[in-house]
Structure formats: structure tokens, C-alpha cells
Chains A and B, each alone.
Chain A
Amino acid sequence: MSYLIRGKIALFIKVIVVTLFVSILLLLAQSAFAQKEYVIATFLLIAVLLLSLTYLTKISVPLKFFIPGILLLTAFVVGPILYTVAMSGFNYKTGNIISKEEAIVQIKVRGIEPAPSGLTFDIKLGTVDGKPAILASDINTPEYFISTLEERIPLVASSLTLNEYGVAVEAPNFTPLTDSEFSTADKLFTGTRFTFDDQYFIALEGFEAGVVSQQILEFVPEADHFKNLVTGAIYTDNGRGNYALADDKSAILEPGWRAPIWFENYSNIVTDSRVRGPLIRVFIWTVVFALLTVLTTFALGLLLALALNKPIRGRRIYRSILVLPYAMPSVMSILIWGGMFNTEFGAINALLGTEIAWFSDPNFARVAVILVNLWLGFPYFYLISSGSLQAIPSELMEAAAIDGANPRQIFRKITLPLLLQILSPLLIASFAFNFNNFNLIYLLTGGGPRNELDGEIAGATDILISYTYKIAFGTGTQDLGLASAISLIIFLLVASISLYSLRKSKVLETFA
């Protein structure tokens, strides 16, 4: 075997390339670390270690070929699956996104209420004896004072320098912050409670305004509960990611946090009629849609491949035209078809002279979905069928013809079985792809039509993945935990169907 580059030059290039990759991964790891994504950061560091060990030592030659694939598989297949499994065990939804520690901090912030008087002051930030202080002005009363952490010092207007609006800007013993000192003001002043009276304090709302406020909710760490200081009500951890009143579970404090609920999302699929009801119907349509798509696209693609397999005039032009739908971005095609199927303004109704409500009638909408997918999918099967037809030895057909078989018998008994043997893995892959063909459904019908007025959640053309998307990212509450549970079920279904089909077609044995 001869190599183009060898010796020290090859080693030098290898070190450069590995260093480049390792540097990029370290940069990503640092970014992940800074964003507190420790799992991602750890994975990237392990990847760096493995890449370095594999390519800079002689630990294993086969690993040099496998390690990129293993790392990519882990990052983009195994990782997301594990994350989905983990999330399906949490009440991960709108209102329960952040951690418990963060939720406690935010409830405390929201537990500060302005005084009923609504009293606010124009303020200047500064210091008194080197300690943080505010110079407060109420230009309506008018009233002026300095407030520190310990005391409130009333001032008379005559002792102050006022601006054109009557706001005090200078006072005896008060040193206002300079512009350059404002860069540290957030750190020094935010969250500081300046004295107002026994019940209330002044909280900053920016650097120019102070609001008379009081703390309504107090966190008691030892008891892990919040106490309402006005009513005395106690909010305890309800075990489902919220602090709630003991005698009124619906009275919760927001925000909540992600809490483990183990298999509840899975049991909801069975017990919650709003989820369970549509799911069965959606599953049946998903299977029908995927099967019909594979059958129609394969049938049309094969038909065209057979037709153009024979030498006819203009064959190259026909072949080029037939590949065009495949060359065009599917998003554009789908949107154009969506416009053409429009009931009032669409080209299809205009050409046919009909008023068919393509996207309002469930059956017409399903037909439209299949037709558009046929348009998008047949060039693929045309191309692979054409290629496969070339691979079938012509002697088989000739021998059959000599034995008296007619063209239809040759196709049924020889061509099709051989084609199916070659194309089985691709047909199964196409089924699996269409089982999760989110783009088509989302862009063409949005899963509709559905009768929202009668409380339908899933539309007539919703497939499992688009239905899951609605649950996860629809308006109102987004339930990512439930969507993760349904996603896992879809994964298991597609994996099972694909595995079963591959076994039945004996493709795996052939490969083995």
C-alpha cells in the first residue's frame, strides 16, 4: 500500500488536525460550562480525551475509524433519547421549567408588594459616610429625605439643590454617585432595602425611582415553606413542583419547578380522556398515512421507471423533468401546494370549477396530504427503481420470454420480487420517515381540520409527531414531559415496526 503523505509530514498534519478539533471541542466545552450545562461540558471533555488518546497514541487502530461515529451517535441519538426518557419522568411544563432553588428566589422577589398607598419617589443614588444611601423626592407633596439602611433623615427644601422638575440632586452630607460609579451601582444598590418606616421599606425600581414596598412572602428554609406575612397562610411543597396551600391545592405560588412525577405522564396517556381519545385515532391515521404514502410513491415511481427504462424519444428530458420535484426544497413545494388547494382562491378549484373545501373537510384534507406527499416522494422511488432495474440481469427476462411468459407475468414473477428484495430496506426506511413526516403535516394542514368548537384536540390529518408537537408547543400550557412520554412511545413503535419488517424481509440476514 502506498501513501501520498507519510512520515513526519503525516504526523505533523495529524497533530494539527487533531489539535484543531480538540480546540473547537474545548471551546464548546467552555461555553457549555459557562452556561452551567455540565452534562454537555462533561461529554465534550470525554470526547476530547478519547479523540486525543485515539489519534495521538497507538492504543487501538480500529478505534481510529469508529470513534467519530461513536461520539456522533452518542451526541445526536443516544443523548437525546436518554434526555427524553429523563424528561418524561418530570412535570416539565409551562410554570414548571426552572429549578427549585431558582423558584424560591423568584417567589421571594414576587413576594415584595408595593404599599397600598402606591407611594413612589424620585431618587438619586449616593453615599452618606461612605455607605449606600438614596436622596428621595416626592415633588407633589413636596417631601425630601435621605434614606440609608439604618435610618431616614428628613430634609427641608431650602437645604437642597433642586433640578428643573423639583427633584433634589444635592443635599448636605450626601455624596451623589458619579457617572463612572454607576457601573458598580447595580451591585451595591439592587436589592437593598432603604428605610421608610417600621412596616415598609424603599425598593429601587431602576436608578431613578424608589417604591415604598413590603415583603409579603417569607421563606422558612428549615420548614421548606413560604409564609404570607399578612394573612399567615403557609405554602408547603406539594411534591409536584409548587408551593401550595395545604387546604387548597389549587392555590399555588408561581413559578414552580421541575419535579419528578415518575410514570405519571405515561399513565396520563391512558387515563386522561383528552389525551387518550385522540391518540388512538391519530395512531391509526399515522399508520394509514405512512403506508399509503409508501405504496403510492413507490407505485408511481416504479411505473415511471418502467416506462422510461425503454428507449423512447426525449427520455433524458422526461427523466430531468421527473426529478424536478425532488430538486425543489420541499418546504416551498408544500407551501405552494397549500395555496393551490385553497378553497376560495386556489388554482385547483379554479381549474376543476369546483368549490371543494380541501382543508376543511377531513377526507379531502387527507387526500390532499397524500397527493402532495406523492408529488414530493415519487421522484425518490423513480430514481432508486430506475437504478435497481438496471441491476436486474436482462437474461432472466429474456429466458422467461423464451419460455412463453408475457410481459405482465415477467413483471409479477421476476422483476417485482427482485426489485422488492433490493428495495425492502428503503421501503421500510420510507415508512419510518413518513411515520414522523412532521414538515408536510405542519406546513400543509397544520394537522387540521379539527373541530375546536366541539373540543377536538387532534385534527383529521394530525400524525403522532404533529400531535405531540401540539401538546409540547401549542398555545397555552406547553407540556414537555407529556410530549416526551408520547415521543418515546412513537420511538418504540417505529423501532418495533421497522425491526419486524426488516426481519420479515430477511434483509438483516442478507447483510449478515
Chain B
Amino acid sequence: MRFWLVVLVFLTSLSLQHSFAEALSDEAHQIIEEMEKLYRGDASRATITMTVVTPRNERRLRMSAESLGQEYALYRILAPKKEEGIATLKREKEMWNYFPKINKVIKVPPSMMMGSWMGSDVTNDDLLRETELVDAYDLSLETTEDQYRITLVPKEDTVTVWGRIDYMVDRHAMLPVEQVFFDERGRKIRRMEFSDVKEFEGKRLPSILKVIPLNKEGHETVVEYEQLDFDATDVTKDLFTRRNLTSRF
């Protein structure tokens, strides 16, 4: 009898523990999903300035970005003159770059996913967002006074780009603060900082995203949202075609 009692207590505590962990993970899951949705919306249109800083120079690109859900996106460089019209189309799991000067569409192969996008510290993978964070990573949550700190570790058997991601979220504003990316050997590779919260069409969002590679001293890329429109009703699926990629606008 006594024995069974012990077993019972043990089992209860085990299941409690389990569900507790599950609950935490679920919460983390929710938070991450919320964060990921922030910039995306259903159909969005944005004007972005990207500043690429290297120890030697600074390059500023102005571009337009249109996206539909997670599957479709089209980026187009508006300035400077030299790079005007260069565009990137993401459709489902594929990605192409278009160079108007030579009138050529070049597919970005999977091997180039970690490659730089247009010479910035933003990778093609960042743009493509091929990997759904909550699907590919196991999450664990830690709550501090004003932050959620979520640690993402790749699930077994999934191929991911990063070895670990630390995701910091402001608890009160429910906005991302910082992400730290590690490689499979646990070395910090880069940091992404979110700042300058602004209101875009009634939605408060950090307007500046700073990508700082930690293995390249003096390099950083600052992405600033000038405009962000979350219900661009004219952004529909037929915008994201190869023909549109190459058309002058």
C-alpha cells in the first residue's frame, strides 16, 4: 500500500513537471510566433534603408519590400543609382536575384543561403526565412523582470543554420530586443539588436534592426524601416512572379 502511494506521488510529480515544462515551452512557442509575425503581417509593403558599415566604408541602400505571408517577398533597390533596380524575389522555397544592368535573373542556390545579401551582413537566409523557428528548434523559456529570454536549440534530425539562438523579448511591450546567434560549437557569431520603437499604421515596432557579425570586426548592417504598411491590399500573389522581378517599375 505504502509502496503504491510512493509510486503515485512520484508519477504525479513527474507528470506535473512534464506539463510544467510543456507549458513553458508552449509559452515560448507563442512568444516567438508573435515576434516572427510582427514584421510580416499578411500583406505588407515597406520602405527600408539599409546601411552597410565596414571598417573602410559605408554604403547606404534604399529599397522597397513587399511581402505576402511567409511565402512571398520581393525586395527592390531604389537607390543609389548604381544599384537601382537590383531585386530579389522569394517565392515559396526559392529565391532569385535580378540584375537590370545585365538583364539577368540568377537563382540563389541553397548553398548560398548563408551568403551575404548584396554585400551586407544580412544573409540570404534572413531574407528567405526558410526555417520556421518554432518548427526547427526546441524552445526553453526564462523570465526575468522585464524580459523573456528564450533559448532555441535545434531539434534533433533537423538541419538548421545555427547551433543555438538566444532570443530576448521585452515583456511589457512584447517586442523583440535582441537575438544572439551561435554556431554549432557554441561560439557567438552575430547579434541582432532591435531599437527605436515607432508607430507604423497603429502598430508599435522597433524601426531599427542592427545586425552585428561578431567575427568581423568593424562590420555592421543597420536596417531602418521608413514606412511599413500592414494591409497593402494591392499586394497579392501575382505580384511575386519572375516577370515582375524583371519588370522596370
Same complex origin of A and B:
no
